[in-house]
Amino acid sequence: MRKKLGGCGILGVGIWLAVTQGNFATLSSSFPSLSAANLLIVTGTFVMIIGFVGCIGAIKENKCLLLSFFIMLLIVFLLELTVVILFFVYTDKIDKYAQRDLKKGLHLYGTDGNIGLTNAWSIIQTDFRCCGVSNYTDWFEVYNTTRVPDSCCLEFSENCGLHSPGTWWKDSCYEAVKIWLQENLLAVGIFGLCTVLVQILGLTFAMTMYCQVVKADTYCA
């Protein structure tokens, strides 16, 4: 039931983001659908389906549903484990690909139909006090001139991105976000550990219930 309610909550937040913020946080040009809203909607729907199957299986004491719940949870757990392992094994390659893709996405900044990407870059550069993926020169290729978005300016003003480099942030946004993630690694680790524990408890619960139902059916027979 908790998993089902959690899924509804995640789905609700995803729909709210999609309606109010459009494609906010879509920074990738290769994966335009990879936005915060879409990820939450997909995750929420999936979690809600798994929770629904587990809930009905427990209430009805249905072997098929309980086993399906266990298998789905196990698949999710193994996929998460695989992603984590691959991430640590191919960290350098992922790093290079991510930077290359983000630089490619800069060319969509300010263009029609890419308001989500534009807003995301503006917020990141303002909040993290950075400019561009590697540095402010990344924007020179986008504008074909010595210019950056106004969100790169030390002191924001209209068309301040046309001023000299001395008035812009110098730090790399990619590195700034990486440092922020590293500083919050403990919180991320605790969240990940809690998620794993909940999944293990779910797997244990599903298998225990399944075994009890099988035993009950055997005794009845």
Over range 121-135, report the average pLDDT: 92
Under 8 Å between Cβ of 13 and 37? no
Of 129, 130, 110, 106, nearest to 119 (Cα)?
110
Sign of CA dihedral 107, 111, 115, 118: positive
Q: Where are the domains of the chain?
A: 9-22+29-220
Over residues 154-191, the pLDDT tens digits come to 998 888 999 888 999 999 999 998 888 888 878 777 87
Query: What is the CATH number assigned to the segment(s) 9-22+29-220?
Result: 1.10.1450.10
Lowest model confidence (mean pLDDT) among 36-40, 69-73, 179-183? 36-40
Sign of CA dihedral 146, 148, 152, 156: positive
Does 81 score more than 80 pLDDT? Answer: yes
What is the pTM for the complete model shown? 0.68
Q: How far is CA 203 from CA 6, 37, 84, 164, 208, in A?
A: 17, 28, 20, 59, 8
